[in-house]
Homo-oligomer: A and B are copies of this chain.
Amino acid sequence: MTNPQASKPKAEAPGPKEDIAEAIAPATRLKLFRSQLEIRYLEKRAYDLFLQNLVKGTSHLALGQEAVAAGFGVAMRSDDYTFCTYRGHAHTLVRGVSMAGILGELMGRDCGLTRGKGGSMHLTSVEHGVMGSYAIVGAHLPIAAGAAWSARYRGTEQVAVCFFGDGATNIGAFHEALNLAAVWKLPVVFVCENNLYMEYTSIETVTAVAHPAADRASAYGLEPVLIDGNDVEAVYRIALQALAKARRGEGPSLIEAQTYRHGGHSRADPAKYRPRKEVDAWLARDPIPSYRQRLLALGFSESSLAEIEQEAQRAVDQATEQAKASPVPPTDIAGRDVWASGGSEWRN
């Protein structure tokens, strides 16, 4: 746990990987652990609430993919920007957004981040740098590039981090955003979470290359970066690298993190299209127990980890109560905030 070591996690296929590096500080490691747990417990709770019919509308969980959001969340500067998808609870939470704000939004309550106006697919908390969740595949890639352009123009050294799925790599906006970001050398990090599936269709059946993001990097003059997205430290390291590169003015990165969602695409989906063997193999590579093991092996005490687990669970429980106690939003807000004036008038 001492000397930093120039690790090169690029182009690494996923697989068991021990002792990847010794450079991460103990406190950071605990943060990475805690962050993953908070996501896990929050998302499980969201699922329970859906079963209780308290989560209305849809919701898209990232159970199993926690390491990506956690690794980035811990690596990002507090004024960096996050752009995420409908599957964005995790990426929102890791920026410090309140759990009650997230659950409340899923439940259509007044305490929700947008008081129920956006819904689960549009979590946003500008004060935490979460510049929105976008529900039309690919749209937020150019938008994130724009935030990066603005940061550079304003000279702030902020970086925009944009998360999206494997399926998003086949839509036009992906191509346009990557090219423009590369040409303009924008401080933006594009993170493709390749969980092997779009909604119910496997990405390999509709994509001309094996690695939908990494194999396209060269089309934008970028280096291919393929990482084990279930290894939170690998994610953390690559995040640090890409963020630093962006801050140095050296332009965008495109990172493909290989991972897997434990459940279905959305609450409506039992995910029966996935082979049992595949599911089992990935469940065995669950990022959280494996990281717990690693931390124990590194000398962290069982009790310190258990305490974090309990704290995370308590936080989720409290947030749940808070959200349940929140009233539904007053209906008059439905007509507010179309315009900056606060209203929605289209005539005089």
Contact = CB atoms under 8 A, between A and B. Distances in A.
Nearest to A174: B175
Contacts of A207: 179, 183
Q: Is the interface of A mostly helix, strand, loop or mixed?
A: helix
A183 B208 contact: yes
Contacts of A209: 218-221
Interface string A151-179: 00000000000000000001111111011
Interface of A: 170-176, 178-180, 182-183, 205-209, 215-216, 218-222
A215 B172 CA distance: 17
A215 B208 CA distance: 15
Contacts of A208: 178-179, 182-183, 219-222
A190 to B, nearest CB: 13
A198 B183 CA distance: 16
A21 B219 CA distance: 32
Work out how many copies of this chain go into the complex.
Answer: 2
A170 B176 contact: yes
Contacts of A180: 170
A319 B331 CA distance: 70
Nearest to A181: B208
A183 B207 CA distance: 6
A179 B206 CA distance: 8
Contacts of A216: 219
A233 to B, nearest CB: 30
7 contacts: A170-B179, A171-B176, A179-B206, A208-B219, A208-B220, A209-B220, A219-B219
A175 B220 CA distance: 12
Contacts of A215: 218-219
- Sort A-B residue pairs by CB-CB distance and give the 10 closest, nearest first: A172-B172, A175-B175, A182-B208, A219-B219, A208-B221, A216-B219, A208-B220, A179-B208, A170-B179, A172-B176
A216 B215 CA distance: 10
Contacts of A178: 208
Contact of A172 (B175, B182, B220): B175
Q: In this complex, which of A176, A179, A207 has the most chain B Cβ atoms within 10 angstroms of its Cβ?
A: A179
A206 B174 CA distance: 16
A174 B209 CA distance: 16
Nearest to A251: B208
